[in-house]
Structure 1
């Protein structure tokens, strides 16, 4: 029996060290050397070096002077520990009611404008940091009013932050909410 057990125990120990320690350490080392910013969470810092967020994880912005992200179904909104979609189908009464409520609020904010789909729908992860350029432009009127700035200037900031599809053809153009909000703060400083 020992002759059958010994190879199993040695194999388990070997693969534990190889795949549980050596491989993860090697991948972490390569990631830190080749892509240090991405490996450390794509963190964005302010002028004083304080972390203000990540370019990869959405966060809630509720003030009128900021670009708002798409709705989140993750916990209480952008809770990474509860990352998931709502799993509600398109005919779910709760989903329809929520979307109607959000659409009505957006119509009151910007009467007569078409409401982009991502303004009322959640992403699959609930943590999406990006919105469509159409939704970003939809919000320009509110932002301009709250900041006391011309709408054309706010639109220029938004348009300067539009990211093209990955490799030119994968996905859709998008706008990173945190990046636009940082650009808005730089262009129209608070209190000035």
Structure 2
């Protein structure tokens, strides 16, 4: 959508386990055989978009968040000319990424009893949004998704998102900073 934004999606090689994603990032972004270079002077950012699933109970989310904090702390140590910033980030959805899709279309958190009548949150969202994510139309709803998910965002005591909350709005804001004009044009075109 924008020539100022380069989005590199790195598919998980061994599933979506946060610890495996962290190991993958270390190997392809930091290791001697890295496939991509992070330019901290240009303020490149790395985002781990994760679901809560069972990872929280298994203790696999906190180490990923700690890894990101440690990487951010080392930026100015390693690159003295770089300004401190949050290069490494986690955008967690509870319980799943479909929560972010839901907020593209709905302003309020759903009634939990209605959701629990379905076999899963994914099934509930698919029932609410016929056809799922529309790659032609839904990008025009990016600002709606940001606003709706931020408005409904609450945290547990441990800092992780509450049920049917997502941190994807943080990543959405980053992207929107680059594509605001294009999103507005698309929205006007679609009506």
Both structures adopt the same fold (TM-score exceeding 0.5): no
TM-score if structure 2 supplies the norm length?
A: 0.26
Answer 1 or 2: higher relative contact order, Cα 8 Å, separation at least 6: 2
